[in-house]
Amino acid sequence: MGITHANSITTEPSPSPRPPLLRLLPQPRRRRHAHAKHIALSTNCKCASAASASVEEDDVAGGLGYRHPPKQIQEILDVPPNPSYLISPRRDRIMFLQRTAMPPLSELTKPEIVLSGIRIDPGSNMRSRMSFYTGIIVHDLMDSGTLGPAKEVHGYADGAKINFVTWSPDGQHMAFTVRYEDKVDNSVNLSLWVANAESGEARPLCISEDIRLNAIFELFVWVNDSTVLVCTIPSSRGCPPKKPLVPFGPRIRSNEHKNVVQMRATKEMLKDLHEEELFDYYATSQLILLSLDGTVKPIAPPAIYTALDPSPDEKYLMLTSVHRPYSSTVSYKRFPKKVELWTVDGTFIREVCDLPLAEDIPITSGSVRKGKRLISWRPDMPSTLYWVEAQDGGDANVEVSPRDIVYMELADTLNGEKPQVLLKLDLRYRRISWCNGSQALVYEHWYRTCRTRTWVISPDCKDVSPRVLFERSSEDAYSNPGSPMMCRTPAGTFVIAKIKTNYEGTYILLKGKGATPKGSIPFLDLLNINTGVKERIWESSKEKYYESVLALMSYNPKCEIQLNHLKLLVSKESRMEPTQYYIKAWPDKTQVQITNYSHPYPQLALLQKEVIRYQRVDGVKLTATLYLPPGYDPSKDEPLPCLVWSYPGEFKSREAAGQVRRSPNKFARIRSNFPLLWFAILADPTIPIIGERDQEANDRYIEQLVASAEAAVNEIVRRGVAHPDKIAVGGHSYGAFMTANLLAHAPHLFCCGIARSGAYNRTLTPFGFQKEVRTLWEATDTYIKMSPFMSANKIKKPILLIHGEDDSKVTTAMQSSQFYDALKGNGVPCRLVILPFERHHYVARESVMHVIWETDRWLEMYCVSNSRNIQVMESTVDTTWSPACEALALYFTKIYSLSKLVHLAFAQIFHQEVKK
């Protein structure tokens, strides 16, 4: 199973085979002598023979295939997730999309081609490893708020994998793709289907064998209620180009013009002319208009289309494509890009823009591409375009005012009208939420200062000046006003819903997460845009439940909703009750439950969860979520082994870093990428790295990292829930980086570590990482000091490294391999597990189960059975036994390959028996 190293295994005993779930049960306090006897006897039962113990150690060391945790743990991880949902445009139906838990490893082993930042499945001409749905269930939404009878979409064969599910604009049909796999030649039959929403009957939309789908980029989009625009493989395409046996010439990369091109590390770019030909081959599409009656009409010439956007009035098509010259440095997103306007009947209107290759975008956060960007249709107008253009050349390091300008113009400029300036911004444009011709909300933000502004503009009223509605720090969760509730128009676009009340002014709804010092309390506010005055018309329960507004269920063609007729889709959950969906209706705010999902893992129904607050030595307030076994009582039961699992974050102020952004009432979900709760877990303790004012946060990374971890450990020890000698630390990605640094710079806090998919040598990411925008040459000392690779000789505690072999991010598997070699070269107890075919996150069932097994084993050996307990045992047991007792204990210890701790326990037991 990839790379294993026998010499990384110590002579510690193998972990107990007892199910980890049993460790959830609290153990009564025992005196140390009795506890030692218990360990000895249980270990003696486990090692029934020397041969079996030897085989198990050989198995662990040699890596004999994938391992699995106990059945109880597998049952938890195999629980399929709840279905996803899609609400119809007119809010009269809802479909639930059924999903599976984890794919088998065989799904990951299929051939794929990596080109320009994307991974392609050549057998289906779509992205590789796409998740999928297994079934579609449709319900009518009744006036009472209840669901009508379930209608299962049918017509396709069993075993179909469903993707790209969308409603038609009128909600009478659903379109989706169905794919089947030929197990003989690994080919995939990918076809476009349409289903009747009333009957659930589905059929292929195109039965011609000459039409094959191209799903590399956007596959299809509804143009109107009965027509879809589809990307297909050009009929003239032959076999894929073959790589020449004799190279055409050497690979040459030149920068003789002294361009400044800085890119964060990646390994998926185009490498040579052959890969450029492959990119053209797989990504080029022929567009066709496909009607529900089967009529097919080609439109526009073949090109590499990356986006298809019909105008709201169904008259125009905005087609975005990329073209040569390509780059070996950046992905397709920065290739030369062309945007064109066509009529729906296939007539070319004009070219909106043709942007050059963008290799030179600075790495500084807030830097963007030159020229027109984010070109979109106004959702509240028939066919009006809007876009943004940077005035600083796209370089966030340039000081200029304004920094961005938002423009607008009609699709077909018959008289050569110039674009209209909507708004000039001094920060970087983020987005617009359109309401109607008289109002829209424009958002801007600046990373360095964390300032964010929300403007109210009147796009169709030139005599009304823009004004600031909100201005705040983007880090300040407590002051977040929320986001506007959106309503779907008959054209299928989304605009801000206007709320009709008995008061004067224009009202909208703002929904927010409601971060407070006591935890998140989601809310719904009624906002008067004219005055800025808000009224809270609903908020979540504060005591037991966590409720959240998901979507607006009221429908009006003009998107004007009477407050007394307001209907919302909301979710509701508690610590012990899984999420359910409800329809909440005004004016009485009554709610009707529309789902009834059972507890996914009743074994953990009584799991204890608490959001705790504590303080760092410098006064920064911190937060964490503490999970404890059912029935555990720290006032009666002994401290538990504990795993601290976290991910650091950067802040510009200590006040923002100390804010609570979680709820104690949320349901505890067990995910495949999160450690199992087999004993105490301190989940996501805030690890803020703060750089106030002109300070750079990472210049004090180590000091703040250690201070935050020390505060967390002190708090759980103070509470009596964690044994100070049995606290492990772990994390994924940047959390793995954190783990390695803590073992290097805070060895007194943790007994071992688990690091997954980490990057440990920052000199291999010289053009920035996370929110660090300085290069290696600008902040050399910081890069070196932050790299745990450079401090491998300081690590003494055992560390488990896990990595996906195909990780293509800056955290390549090479990072873990080199870090392991550095640790091993310094005699550090370590273990490296490379997961074949896995990327940055692990998805295959075999991989996930093996990761849990590795985690269980590591914690059992180096946390639960921490070797520091040997010193405790030696200082507390009676060591005045006779030579005969010593000899007998040594005999049992050696033949069963047991640890020194068990040797001491055996000797104590034999000595007590002799005295009797």
Q: What distance in Å separates the CA atoms of residue 514 and residue 534, rounded to the nearest whole number? A: 14
Average pLDDT over residues 863-885: 52
Nearest-angstrom CA–CA distance, 898 and 902? 6
9-23, 188-202, 733-747, 846-860: the lowest-pLDDT one? 9-23
pLDDT of residue 265: 62
* pLDDT at res. 187: 58
Residues classed as catalytic: 733, 807, 840
The predicted structure's pLDDT at residue 52:
36
277-281, 454-458, 692-696: least confidently modelled range: 692-696
In this prediction, residue 134 carries a pLDDT of 95
Maximum alpha-carbon separation in the chain = 109
Residue 910 scores a pLDDT above 80: no
Looking at domain 602-867, which of 1.25.50.20, 2.60.40.3500, 3.40.50.1820, 3.30.9.60 is its CATH number? 3.40.50.1820
Average pLDDT rounded to a whole number, residues 24-33: 34
Confidence at residue 852, expressed as pLDDT on a 0 to 100 scale: 93
Sequence length of the chain is 916
Q: Is it the case that residue 18 has pLDDT exceeding 70?
A: no
pLDDT at residue number 810:
80
* CA pseudo-torsion sign 863, 867, 872, 878: positive
| Dist CA 867 CA 11 (whole Å) | 11
- Which segments of 227-325 does DSSP mark as H helices, in order? 273-283
Instruction: Check residue 15 and give its pLDDT.
Output: 36
d(CA 754, CA 593): 41
Residue 5 has pLDDT above 50, yes or no: no
What is the pLDDT, as a whole number, of residue 257? Answer: 80
Q: Which is more confident, 870 or 227? A: 227
Residue 42 has pLDDT above 70, yes or no: no
Q: Identify the pLDDT of residue 255.
A: 80
616 backbone dihedrals φ, ψ, rounded to 5° = -80, 165
Q: What is the pLDDT of residue 898?
A: 44
CA distance 319 to 285: 12
Residue 347, C-beta contacts closer than 8 angstroms, at least 6 positions apart: none
pLDDT band of residue 99 (cuts 50, 70, 90) is very high
pLDDT band at 605 (very low <50, low <70, confident <90, very high): confident
Quick one: pLDDT at residue 56? 47
**Residue 84's pLDDT is what?**
96
Closest to 596 measured CA to CA, from 198, 73, 146, 154: 146
**Average pLDDT over every residue of 394-400:** 95
Residue 43: pLDDT over 70 = no
> Average per-residue pLDDT in the chain?
86
Instruction: Name the strands in the sheet holding 439-446, side by side, starting at the edge strand that comes first in the sequence.
Output: 428-436, 439-446, 451-457, 467-473
Q: Is the separation of the CB atoms in 853 and 20 below 8 Å?
A: no
pLDDT value of residue 64: 72
Tokens of 48: 């029934």
pLDDT at position 431 is: 96
Instruction: Evaluate if residue 890 carries a pLDDT over 60.
Output: no
Can you spell out the DSSP letters for 709-749? HHHHHHHHHHTT-EEEEEEEEEEETHHHHHHHHHHHH-TTT
Structure tokens given for 308:
């298809």
- Residue spans of the domains in the chain: they are 374-476, 602-867
- Above 70 in pLDDT, residue 900? no
